[in-house]
């Protein structure tokens, strides 16, 4: 267990795969910051740009802010990359612009976190569940749109996806004021079998009525799985959502497949974290 005292830590931190069961505990996400500014524009790969990169199984973090301050003009600039199984985050803030949170692989859980960004700011091929989080879209550069998820499942036999449950889908004041000119979406398919669902979440009305966006062609629209179940708020109305074969208005049974108990086998490991979680939906 590592106690990270109040302060701003300007560094890039790597937790390698050989370092398992590391726990980072801060004094609060409003006073404990790990911050960096690596970006693709400045010569880093997306993978290597992360301010905090976690590969060690069993990693836990609570009460810390992790951010990438590169800005929207620097394009891909990751704040947090997680390539570790059984990783969980509680009351953390994860801030960036494009590609903020790279849920790269394995099982991951996020509870009561604040996550902000512009384009594809929750992306990757993990099995990741978000509960009671604030997911906040920020103002992009002129001519750009915003999109929350870019999940990258690329084969049918993978058991991966992004499950957003009991969260609040919000915009910054600046984006909200400009929402008539800047389109915002719940997700777009990075790979053919892209999988993302929004369950029982509040969706504000800055989200475009279509809800979802193509990548650059019609590829994947019949193989992806995008779903919505019992969301509420002015942006949750599904009447004008996309008419893709892979888009679903979900029923209880299909939504339950994305609960922590089913999707990331919560009882096998989340109980030991002492982080709160909702077993079902």
Each residue's pLDDT tens digit, 132-172: 999 999 999 999 999 999 999 999 999 999 999 999 999 99
**Gyration radius of the chain over CA positions:** 17
User: For residue 186, which of 123, 95, 257 has the smallest C-alpha distance?
Assistant: 123
Is position 63 annotated as part of the catalytic site?
no
Sheet-wide strand order for 93-95: 7-10, 32-36, 65-68, 93-95, 114-117, 134-137, 168-171, 202-203
Each residue's pLDDT tens digit, 82-134: 999 999 999 999 999 999 999 999 999 999 999 999 999 999 999 999 999 99
Token pair listed for 145: 């749109």
Q: For the chain, which residues make up each domain, given as ranges?
A: 2-273
Rounded Cα distance, 163 and 227, in Å: 9
pLDDT at 275 over 90: yes
Each residue's pLDDT tens digit, 225-273: 999 999 999 999 999 999 999 999 999 999 999 999 999 998 889 999 9
Token pair listed for 40: 């693709």
Rounded Cα distance, 114 and 123, in Å: 15
Cα dihedral value 107, 112, 116, 122, nearest 10: 20
Strands 195-199 and 161-165: parallel
Length of the chain: 281
CATH topology of domain 2-273: Pectate Lyase C-like (2.160.20)
User: For residue 40, which of 124, 114, 105, 96 has the smallest C-alpha distance?
Assistant: 96
What single-letter DSSP state applies at residue 267?
Answer: G
Catalytic residue of the set 63, 85, 99, 120: 120
- Give, for 203, the enclosing helix (H) or strand (E): strand 202-203
Token pair listed for 123: 């992306």
For the residues of 62-93, what is the DSSP string, one character each? ES-EEEE-S-GGG-B--SEEE--TTEEEES-E
Each residue's pLDDT tens digit, 12-64: 999 999 999 999 999 999 999 999 999 999 999 999 999 999 999 999 999 99
Helix, coil or strand: residue 217: coil
Rounded Cα distance, 267 and 45, in Å: 36
| Residue 81, burial from CB neighbour count under 10 angstroms (0-12, 13-18, 19+) | buried
What single-letter DSSP state applies at residue 257?
Answer: T
């Amino acid at each position: 267990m590592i106690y990270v005292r109040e302060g701003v830590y300007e560094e890039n931190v790597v937790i390698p795969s050989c370092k398992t069961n590391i726990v980072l505990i801060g004094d609060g996400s409003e006073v404990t910051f790990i911050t960096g500014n690596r970006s693709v524009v400045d010569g880093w790969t997306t993978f290597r740009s992360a301010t905090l990169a976690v590969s060690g199984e069993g990693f836990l973090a609570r009460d810390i802010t992790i951010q990438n301050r590169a800005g929207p003009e620097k394009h891909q600039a990751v704040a947090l990359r997680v390539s570790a199984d059984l990783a969980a985050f509680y009351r953390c803030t994860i801030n960036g612009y494009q590609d903020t949170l790279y849920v790269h692989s394995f099982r991951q859980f996020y509870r009561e976190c604040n996550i902000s960004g512009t384009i594809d700011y929750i992306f990757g091929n993990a099995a990741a569940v978000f509960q009671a989080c604030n997911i906040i879209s920020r103002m992009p550069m002129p001519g750009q749109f915003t999109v929350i998820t870019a999940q990258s499942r690329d084969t049918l036999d993978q058991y991966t996806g992004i499950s957003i449950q009991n969260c609040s889908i919000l915009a910054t004041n600046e984006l909200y004021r400009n929402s008539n000119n800047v389109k915002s979406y719940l997700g777009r398919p990075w790979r053919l079998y892209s999988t993302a669902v929004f369950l029982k979440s509040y969706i504000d009305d800055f989200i475009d009525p279509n809800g979802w966006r193509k990548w650059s062609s019609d590829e994947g629209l019949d193989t992806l799985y995008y779903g919505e179940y019992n969301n509420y708020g002015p942006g949750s109305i599904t009447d004008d959502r996309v008419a893709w074969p892979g888009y679903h208005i979900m029923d209880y049974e299909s939504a339950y497949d994305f609960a922590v108990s089913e999707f990331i086998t919560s009882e096998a490991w989340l109980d030991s974290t002492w982080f709160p979680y909702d077993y079902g939906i």
